[in-house]
């Protein structure tokens, strides 16, 4: 799976239109706003000039049955039209030049070419050629093209607004604690280990750890999690979350540009710019359409001219065909949906790193879940402690187990340590620590050889299980062996998340099979599967076998998405057609995954698949609309129905083109994440 972190080669739409690139950060945003203003200004100037141009045109006078003529009126018309052409048409002429330089004819080439032909022909009629000038058509054409661009850029700005909102989550100022006094500083000047004060209701300015105070934090904009989360001393906080009712002091973990929020913004920008297969398809289509437009324009001109129509009529048909054929809607069909969907996802706690993978999420047939931390809370709690040896108390068992587990990150270890903390027991030190792969750990504690191992280890070493030991399907048990005799066992269980069953049900309704892939024993896997209605489970799978299992499922022709939260899932995530990393913000570096779910909520996975489907649907709708429109409008512009009295003027062509672009923009903005 490749990642789009390197700059992409620029394609047609990007080079030509600064505005199809969603605005980036504040600088990009300002540039974008300036362009919108520029088009607006040009539009109004051209609008004012178009009125006298139309009143001075013979054709319009003929229709309105009025007659305005004075010595030199032709030259006045010519002068006004020249201003319209050079001032109003400038963005298009400039764009045409850029496209030619890049040897990449597109949208601007078509418009530039069309208005130039109309202008040059009309000028020639003023200075002697017999024929009717096109000035009013030229003016209305430029007017409508400017209007279309202006509206379209506004809607693109809308699609990127969500990204702007993310940027704005970062407060500008922070209260830096300096000895006994507090001073306000700019957020970007914060560095590691600074201590900042966050008052109730304020936004947190930097990722950090609470050193003083406690409060409830609203992280919903970052994680999509609506319930405020209780945080107290020692807890991590994310920049951009909103502080609740308590004042807290935070020790800053890193500068602003490394914060979780900045990484999210960067990911969103990368994803908005990375081009998926659908986008490349649309780009290719737009390029072809440009060539077709020019060819069709010339063919139309020749057909009418050679069939005996006058030059003016033939040129007008050519201009209309070229304008109507502008692949503008096509060029925007996908980028607008991309900009909208990426930013929306980020707000809902779905971070898309690889666009193609996200668009492919509609093809998923099987979702493979890693149980721990995804379908369950991933927090093991001690459910029972059984001592098997005389003179060894339950607390003693816990102490010895904790001695071995105190440096481990394993969920079972965390569960045991938590229990020891709850009972406030002293944990002894361990020497000669050694891990028994996949089976447990051993060490010397207070002069005794202690092992904490799985039941499988006992079987392999022919140590008989105690008579009163009844394995419980939903529990995981570890045995504590002291000097090679079992001293007792500790059972732990992992609670299932309440949203899991709901998520699996949703997936079933959209025809996606679920598979549980876990390192846990068969009984646990079976009981979890039964409870949740999962189709199939594979238990006791070691990390390196996860990858093999994914291959095996793919071998049956399934399109597999895998969710996982641990380092051990990385190879499998990379092997899956779509890797979805689940887990808290700090694990944003789940590098192998194409999509990161900020929350570990399995509902999000179902939402992701549905959102992938609706995003793809929007793209297809847009592409179908943009193509279908051209298929119908082109022949009309060429004058196929001229005999029946239907003929499109260049201005009508421009209106249709602009409308089709705006339809595409509005359709993209209707995209929503279903919760």
- The upper half-sphere exposure of residue 337, i.e. CA atoms within 13 Å in the direction of its Cβ, equals 32
For residues 300 and 551, what is the distance between their CA atoms, to the nearest angstrom? Answer: 55
The beta-strand segments (E) located in 592-652 are: 595-597
In contact, 315 and 134? CB cutoff 8 Å: yes
229-231: strand order across its sheet? 229-231, 215-218, 242-243
Selecting among 283, 370, 520, 565, the annotated active-site residue is 370
Residue 674, strand partner residues = none
| CA dist., res. 218 & res. 386, Å (int) | 42
With beta carbons less than 8 A apart as the criterion, state whether 534 and 501 touch: no
Note the Cα 179 to chain centre separation in Å.
42
483 is catalytic: no
End-to-end CA distance of the chain: 29
DSSP state of 371: I
* Long-range CB contacts (within 8 A, 24+) of 643-649: 648/320, 648/324, 649/137, 649/140, 649/316, 649/320
Q: Report H helices in 274-410.
A: 277-306, 311-324, 328-347, 355-360, 394-405
Half-sphere exposure of 261 (CA within 13 A, CB side): 29
DSSP alpha helix (H) spans, 596-649? 602-638
Report the half-sphere exposure of 448 (CA within 13 A, side-chain side).
Answer: 20
**Alpha helices, DSSP H, located in 56-175:** 58-64, 73-83, 90-101, 107-126, 135-159, 161-168
The secondary structure element, H or E, covering residue 216 is strand 215-218
Separation between Cα atoms, residue 491 and residue 477, nearest integer Å: 4
Contact between residue 250 and residue 210 where contact means Cβ atoms under 8 Å apart: yes
The encoded tokens of residue 472 equal 């419980």
**CA contacts within 13 A on the Cβ side of 657:** 32
Q: Are 324 and 637 in contact (CB under 8 A)?
A: yes
**3-class DSSP state of 375:** helix
Residue 304 CB: number of other CB atoms within 10 A?
Answer: 21
d(CA 143, CA 146): 5
CB neighbourhood size of 530 (10 A): 11
Are the C-beta atoms of 533 and 505 separated by less than 8 Å? yes
Place of tokens 């010595």: 71
Q: Is 666 left (phi over 0), alpha (psi -120 to 50) or beta?
A: alpha
Write the burial class of residue 308 (CB in 10 Å: 0-12 exposed, 13-18 middle, 19+ buried).
exposed
Residues tagged active-site: 370
């Amino acid at each position: 799976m490749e990642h789009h972190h390197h700059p992409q080669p620029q394609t047609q739409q990007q080079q030509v239109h600064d505005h199809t690139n969603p605005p980036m950060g504040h600088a990009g945003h300002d540039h974008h706003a300036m362009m919108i203003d520029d088009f607006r200004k040009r539009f109004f100037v051209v609008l004012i000039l178009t009125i006298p141009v139309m009143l001075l045109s013979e054709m319009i006078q003929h229709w309105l049955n009025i007659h305005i003529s004075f010595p030199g009126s032709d030259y006045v018309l010519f002068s006004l039209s020249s201003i319209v052409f050079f001032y109003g048409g400038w963005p298009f002429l400039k764009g045409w030049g850029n496209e030619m330089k890049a040897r990449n004819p597109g949208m601007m080439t078509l418009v530039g070419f069309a208005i130039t032909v109309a202008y040059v022909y009309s000028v020639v009629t003023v200075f002697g050629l017999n024929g009717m000038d096109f000035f009013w058509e030229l003016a209305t054409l430029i007017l409508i093209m400017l209007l279309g661009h202006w509206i379209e850029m506004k809607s693109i700005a809308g699609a990127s607004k969500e990204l702007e909102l993310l940027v704005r989550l970062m407060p500008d100022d922070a209260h830096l604690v300096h000895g006994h006094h507090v001073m306000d500083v700019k957020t970007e000047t914060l560095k590691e280990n600074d201590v900042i004060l966050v008052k109730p209701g304020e936004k947190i300015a930097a990722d950090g750890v609470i050193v003083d105070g406690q409060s409830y934090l609203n992280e919903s904009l970052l994680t999509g999690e609506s319930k405020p989360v209780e945080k107290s001393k020692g807890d991590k906080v994310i920049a951009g979350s909103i502080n609740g009712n308590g004042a807290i002091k935070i020790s800053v973990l890193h500068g602003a540009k490394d914060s979780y929020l900045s990484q999210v913004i960067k990911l969103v920008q990368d994803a908005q710019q990375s081009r998926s297969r659908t986008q490349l398809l649309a780009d290719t289509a737009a390029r072809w359409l440009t060539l077709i437009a020019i060819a069709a324009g010339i063919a139309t001109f020749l057909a009418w001219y050679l069939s005996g129509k006058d030059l003016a009529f033939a040129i007008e048909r050519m201009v209309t065909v070229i304008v109507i054929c502008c692949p503008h809607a096509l060029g925007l069909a996908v980028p607008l949906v991309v900009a909208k969907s990426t930013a929306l996802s980020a707000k809902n706690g779905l971070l898309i790193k690889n666009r193609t993978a996200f668009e492919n999420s509609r093809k998923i047939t099987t979702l493979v879940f890693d149980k721990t931390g995804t379908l369950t809370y991933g927090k093991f709690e001690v459910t029972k402690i059984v001592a098997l040896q005389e003179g060894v108390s339950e607390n003693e068992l816990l102490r010895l187990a904790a001695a071995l587990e105190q440096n481990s990150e394993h969920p079972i270890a965390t569960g045991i340590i938590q229990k020891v903390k709850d009972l406030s027991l002293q944990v002894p030190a361990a020497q000669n620590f050694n891990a028994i792969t996949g089976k447990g750990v051993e060490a010397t504690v207070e002069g005794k050889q202690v092992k904490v191992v799985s039941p499988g280890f006992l079987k392999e070493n022919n140590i008989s299980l105690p008579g009163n030991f009844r394995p419980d399907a939903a529990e995981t048990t570890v045995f504590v062996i002291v000097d090679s005799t079992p001293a007792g066992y500790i059972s732990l269980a992992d609670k299932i998340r309440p949203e899991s069953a709901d998520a699996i049900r949703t997936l079933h309704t959209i025809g996606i099979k679920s598979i549980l892939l876990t390192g846990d024993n068969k009984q646990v896997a079976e009981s979890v599967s039964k409870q949740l209605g999962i189709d199939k489970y594979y238990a006791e799978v070691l990390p390196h076998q996860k990858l093999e299992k994914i291959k095996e499922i793919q071998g049956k022709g399934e399109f597999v998405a895998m969710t996982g939260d641990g380092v051990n899932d990385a190879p499998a995530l990379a092997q899956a057609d779509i890797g979805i990393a689940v887990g808290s913000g700090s694990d944003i570096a789940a590098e192998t995954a194409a999509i990161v779910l900020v929350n570990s909520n399995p509902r999000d996975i179902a939402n992701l698949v549905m959102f992938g489907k609706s995003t793809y649907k929007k793209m297809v709708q847009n592409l179908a609309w943009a193509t279908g429109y051209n298929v119908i409008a082109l022949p009309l512009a060429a004058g196929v129905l001229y005999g029946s009295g239907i003929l499109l003027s260049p201005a009508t062509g421009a209106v249709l083109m602009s409308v089709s672009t705006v339809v595409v923009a509005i359709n993209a903005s209707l995209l929503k994440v279903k919760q």
